[in-house]
Structure 1
Amino acid sequence: MKAMQLDHDMLLRAARMMESEGGSFAGHIARAFYVADLSNREKLLSAFDELFVQFYKKHMRDVRNREMNV
């Protein structure tokens, strides 16, 4: 999976997870993503692909775990 394959909602979920669960660096990347224009978002996704994918996968694991506990 590549970050550029994720739709905007998926990327927002990843960014929110980066901000809340990641360290300072991940949080700053997430906040930069929120305010970036399309060109700069693409640059962020290209430069930090693994970070966005990692946190999107973490978000999905958390969702599945919550669903299993309901």
Structure 2
Amino acid sequence: MVNVIATQKGYSGLRIRDVGDEFSVPDEMFSERWMKPVDPKWKPDTKPAAKAKAEAPAKTADKPDTKPAA
């Protein structure tokens, strides 16, 4: 959780937050668009996203050079 201050009107925790409101949000819900952290040293998680799995090879029926089934 991170303590934040609303820099614009926004919606969080089933409530509308006005400019200047101080409240807590889970780290993954932090939005730089309308929040700033109370602690200036806090930084959003910047871990790289997990790599997507490689695409599965095309099935025989998906390949254009095969004949359709009879």
- TM-score, scaled relative to structure 2: 0.24
| Structure having the larger proportion of residues in helix | 1
Larger Rg: 2
- TM-score, scaled relative to structure 1: 0.24
